[in-house]
Amino acid sequence: MTVTAERPAVPFFAPDLFEADREALLEALYEVGTDPEQKFILGRRTARFEDALRTRLGSADAVACSSGTSALTLVLSALGVGPGDEVIVPAFGCAPLASTVLSVGAVPVFADIDPATLTLDPARAEELVTDRTRALMPAHMFSFMADMPRLRDLAARTGLRLVEDSALAQGGVLRGTPAGRWGDAGVYSFVQVKVFGMPGEGGMVLTDDAALAGRVRMLRNHGQDGRNRFLHHHVGHNSRFDEVMAAFQLHRLAGLEERVARRTAICDHYSRSFADLAGAGVTAPPAGGDGRFPYVYTLLCEDRDGLRAHLAAAGVDTHVYYPRTLPEQPAFAPYAPAAGAPPRARDAARRNISLPLYPHLADARVEQIVSAVRAFALGRKP
């Protein structure tokens, strides 16, 4: 096979991610499209999907919505976060950590990260708490859950709400508690590359707070309560879950553990294979451990661009998720700390590079990736 820039031998985003579920997806589309009920959003399949995750994760309620980003917005709105309020978020991560705060009229306050897990550092967060702070919004990152015990303690001591961005972290468990279950509310994302991804957008809010869940349910559907259509109790959003995707996710739920296990095995093999490369400028996360989840396998490399070019020449596609910190993004620059982006966040943005990781990644391709990374780090040709 000829390797080209357009068609790497090992793509980062696998185009055949749902190939094994093709018939199930077509069946779901036909079933919903021909259902006499003709309900394409927030129907009985969505309710079943909510119940399945609620039961699986032990939460009092689960509310499906249109995306992980929308889930964060709904939670912040339902908590009453708004103008004049501040929300402490990590300085390194996905844009919704800041944009959702701004969308409700509040101000994101950027805290530095832990250098190993790349998640919000509780000590740095505590330094930023003021009388305007309303919430902490940590995010689990790549394959590490944030230090939720310390963050929950900080929230309790300071009277803050804790919003857990667990969009990436399906399969993660820390001290026996699943990702998404540590805060006042947690959120998941189901966009295709996530651990429980699907061929579309979708998200879920998890909470034990019945009043909060009720507000989120209304806000996701233009402020309606679900019983009286065209009676709007709040200014809400269009954040409704698709019935085809609900049916598809219910179909795929049975295989989630197997897919998580395969992704975890690949992650652990990568980590064991790269454990001796730190002295050569390539730092890998350790294998296994509490609070880990197999969303993305991310290295920190002193010569990130060099490694990326080397892997491309070897037919391995890679991805740099966050080449800039959030305060360095033009959209969020007005809210950047006076001293600039925090140093650990800047370092992570400079060095992070992610390798291919999906359940059907063949062992031979995994070894191709391992060999190419080791060859670069040890100064050999591919």
- Closest residue by Cα to residue 205 from 59, 64, 66: 64
Distance CA 173, CA 170 (A): 9
SS3 of residue 64 by DSSP: strand
Structure tokens at 10: 């090992």
Distance CA 309, CA 329 (A): 25
Whether pLDDT at 381 is above 70:
no
Distance CA 237, CA 74 (A): 8
> What is the 8-class DSSP label of residue 83?
T
The answer to whether the beta carbons of residues 14 and 214 sit under 8 Å apart is no
Q: What's the gap between Cα 272 and its chain centre?
A: 24
Q: Identical fold at 19-253 and 256-377?
A: no
381, with CB counted inside 10 A (0-12, 13-18, 19+), is exposed
Q: Confidence band (pLDDT; 50, 70, 90) for 7? A: low
Whether pLDDT at 11 is above 60:
yes
Distance CA 166, CA 141 (A): 9
The model's pLDDT over 26-51, given as tens digits with 9 standing for 90+, comes to 999 999 999 999 899 989 999 999 99
Q: Confidence band (pLDDT; 50, 70, 90) for 259? A: very high
For the 256-377 domain, the top CATH level (class) is: alpha beta
The answer to whether the beta carbons of residues 307 and 91 sit under 8 Å apart is no
For the 19-253 domain, the top CATH level (class) is: alpha beta
| Among 134, 161, 194, 215, the one annotated catalytic | 194
- Closest residue by Cα to residue 112 from 327, 282, 297: 327
Domain extent listing, the chain: 19-253, 256-377
pLDDT attached to residue 380:
55
Distance CA 103, CA 286 (A): 37
Mean pLDDT of the chain, nearest integer:
94
The model's pLDDT over 204-235, given as tens digits with 9 standing for 90+, comes to 999 999 999 999 999 998 878 877 788 888 88
Average pLDDT of the residues in 128-139:
98
Counts for the chain of helices (H) and strands (E), in that order? 12, 12
Is-catalytic flag, 194?
yes
Whether pLDDT at 338 is above 50:
yes
pLDDT attached to residue 284:
97
